[in-house]
């Protein structure tokens, strides 16, 4: 196994360990599990950064040159954004919803050997900006998705009067709702710019792909969430469900790009 392959495998194993530890913390709420989860995630991020650096040093490829490299950068950025906000907002339990996403994205990045790079006819000076804006927007949407999942679980526990266990480890509904709205507000302008640039390239190809269609659908869901929050006061459960649907559409778009590469 090469050094790049070894660092990738180590990163994936550490993310899987962090994922398991966060689920244990969500289920039991023990302080040692929270400590181990945080340490494993930090270790995974360090190995992940080492993987990106070693891969670039050997291949010389731009970090955002292909969908696989984009996934590798995006997964690290999501983990970094989560750790930077976790302690401030008491979001340790939300790690159980964040780490599976980062792990899946990293594993998707591992498919790169069988996937082609971005075709020459869609390259331009604005391509890095298009990808960077989408990456930043998706990182914010992932945190919003985690807060939304936490909200739906917390709200259901309240309705069923199950106020022990997981209920005691999730942030309050007001906190989750406010965080979800804030992250969508942060991510939406960046995702909008990235999508607009993507539409320009799609026009050059004379057709929209299914992946681009899912990206537009994701934009629509997040836009509706923001609009209804501002105008109709649709906070809480309805906003959380809209956020989750938007995120799933965004993930479908990423999956579409991967499948399109495999088909090529």
Higher pLDDT, 16 or 108: 16
Residue 167 has pLDDT above 70, yes or no: no
Summarised one tens digit per residue, pLDDT across range 43-86 is 999 999 998 888 777 776 666 667 778 888 999 999 999 988 87
Can you tell me the mean pLDDT for 84-110? 86
What are the domain boundaries of the chain? 1-112, 124-264
Residue 206 has pLDDT above 50, yes or no: yes
The phi and psi torsions of 164 (rounded to 5 degrees) equal: -130, 175
pLDDT score of 114: 45
Residue 25 has pLDDT above 70, yes or no: yes
Largest CA distance in the chain: 58
CA distance 142 to 183: 8
Fold classified for 1-112? 1.20.120
List, as one string, the DSSP characters of 222-242.
Answer: HHHHHHHHHHT---HHHHHHH
Higher pLDDT, 128 or 148: 148
pTM of the full predicted structure? 0.86
pLDDT score of 14: 95
Confidence of residue 115 (pLDDT cuts 50, 70, 90): very low
What are the CA-CA distances from residue 238 to residues 149, 154, 222, 224, 232 (Å)?
A: 12, 14, 12, 11, 11
């Amino acid at each position: 196994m090469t050094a790049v392959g070894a660092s990738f495998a180590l990163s994936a194993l550490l993310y899987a360990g962090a994922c398991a530890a966060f689920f244990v913390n969500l289920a039991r709420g023990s302080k040692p599990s929270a400590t181990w989860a945080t340490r494993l995630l930090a270790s995974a991020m360090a190995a992940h950064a080492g993987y990106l650096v070693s891969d670039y040093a050997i291949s010389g490829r731009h970090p955002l040159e292909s969908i696989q490299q984009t996934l590798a950068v995006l997964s690290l950025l999501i983990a970094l954004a989560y750790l930077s906000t976790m302690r401030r907002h008491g979001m340790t339990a939300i790690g159980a919803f964040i780490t599976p996403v980062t792990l899946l994205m990293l594993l998707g990045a591992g498919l790169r050997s069988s996937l082609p790079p971005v075709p020459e006819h869609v390259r331009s000076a604005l391509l890095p900006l298009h990808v960077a804006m989408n990456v930043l927007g998706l990182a914010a949407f992932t945190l919003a998705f985690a807060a939304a999942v936490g909200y739906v679980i917390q709200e259901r526990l309240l309705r069923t009067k199950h106020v022990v266990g997981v209920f005691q480890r999730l942030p309050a509904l007001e906190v989750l709702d406010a965080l979800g709205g804030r992250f969508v507000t942060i991510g939406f302008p960046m995702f909008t710019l990235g999508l607009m640039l993507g539409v320009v390239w799609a026009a050059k190809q004379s057709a929209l792909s299914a992946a681009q269609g899912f990206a537009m659908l994701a934009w629509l869901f997040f836009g509706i969430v923001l609009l209804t929050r501002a105008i109709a006061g649709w906070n809480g459960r309805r906003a959380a469900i809209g956020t989750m649907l938007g995120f799933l559409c965004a993930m479908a778009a990423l999956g579409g790009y991967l499948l399109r590469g495999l088909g090529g």
